[in-house]
Chains A and B, each alone.
Chain A
Amino acid sequence: DTGVSQDPRHKITKRGQNVTFRCDPISEHNRLYWYRQTLGQGPEFLTYFQNEAQLEKSRLLSDRFSAERPKGSFSTLEIQRTEQGDSAMYLCASSFGGAVNEQYFGPGTRLTVT
């Protein structure tokens, strides 16, 4: 078990471009979460999957953001028409079952929009 992995670790893009991030959770974990963290702030919840179903989305997740978990394993987060305000660390976490299960976090993908 290598933990939660995220790819890429860093992404620099120009405003208006689309970007896609990938998260590979711990293999037996059925729940997967995406968070956004800006400098000096704690992680902000974006969305949550149980298996392949997207069960909860934050109002922070504008129409330009979309997340998928097609086979209940890895997940992708796509941002279309990036804006400078999208610059942040995007964190993925996974957990297994239970109501108050521990979330295991990946190292994050740092996005810089120029």
Chain B
Amino acid sequence: AQSVTQLDSQVPVFEEAPVELRCNYSSSVSVYLFWYVQYPNQGLQLLLKYLSGSTLVKGINGFEAEFNKSQTSFHLRKPSVHISDTAEYFCAVRGNYGQNFVFGPGTRLSVLP
């Protein structure tokens, strides 16, 4: 079974500052990793995913994440945030058997002017 931890429930940051949202996972098998964003009153939208290959993954809206197998982490970063990035961010993991996605509890990013 897999599990996902997002240590920061809320992250306030000023506009144009960098941000890192942390995600750690546990699994006994190889995993695929995902970051989703949920804007208010909208469905979840995929930001990026790690399947294999390069550990640095680039996604939409200037976000990127780095897979670190030894630390079982998949932290999300953006060098300069905008007000429009204010949303809930979810890290998710799926084992390489089965279709079940396991989501973390989410991190609420608030970008302040």
Quick one: CB contact mask for B86-105 with A, threshold 8 Å, 1 for yes?
00001010101011111111
Residues of B within 8 A of A4 (CB): 43
Within the complex, what minimum Cβ distance (angstroms) separates A13 from chain B? 21
> Is the CB–CB distance between B44 and A43 below 8 Å?
yes
Q: Provide the bound-state CA to CA distance between A105 and B106, in Å.
A: 16
Query: Which single member of B4, B45, B100, B106 contacts A56 (CB below 8 Å)?
Result: B100
Whether B49 contacts A102 by the Cβ 8 Å rule is: yes
Q: Is A43 in contact with B43, judged by CB distance below 8 angstroms?
A: no
Report whether B32 and A42 are in contact in the complex, using a CB–CB cutoff of 8 Å.
Answer: no
Contacts A4-B43, A56-B98; is A40 near B32 (CB within 8 Å)? no
A99 vs chain B, min Cβ distance (A):
7
Determine whether A107 belongs to the interface, using a CB cutoff of 8 Å to chain B: yes
User: Does A106 belong to the interface (CB within 8 Å)?
Assistant: yes
* Cβ-closest chain A residue relative to B108: A40
Once the chains bind, are B43 and A107 in contact (CB under 8 Å)? yes
Q: How far is the CB of B35 from chain A (nearest CB, A)?
A: 12
Are B106 and A108 in touch, CB under 8 angstroms?
Answer: no
Taking residues whose C-beta sits less than 8 angstroms from the other chain, chain A's interface range is 20 to 34
Provide the bound-state CA to CA distance between A3 and B45, in Å: 11
Chain B positions within 8 Å of A103 at CB level: 46, 101
Can you add 19 more A-B contacts, CB < 8 Å, to A31-B99, A42-B105? A33-B101, A41-B105, A42-B103, A42-B104, A42-B106, A43-B44, A43-B90, A43-B101, A45-B101, A55-B99, A56-B100, A58-B100, A91-B43, A100-B32, A100-B94, A102-B46, A104-B43, A105-B45, A108-B43
CB-defined A-B contacts under 8 Å, sample of 24: A3-B43, A31-B99, A41-B105, A41-B106, A42-B105, A43-B90, A44-B103, A45-B101, A45-B102, A48-B99, A48-B100, A55-B99, A56-B98, A56-B100, A58-B100, A91-B44, A99-B96, A100-B32, A102-B49, A103-B46, A105-B36, A105-B43, A105-B45, A108-B43
Interface residues of A (CB under 8 A from B): 3-4, 31, 33, 35, 40-45, 48, 55-56, 58, 91, 93, 99-100, 102-108
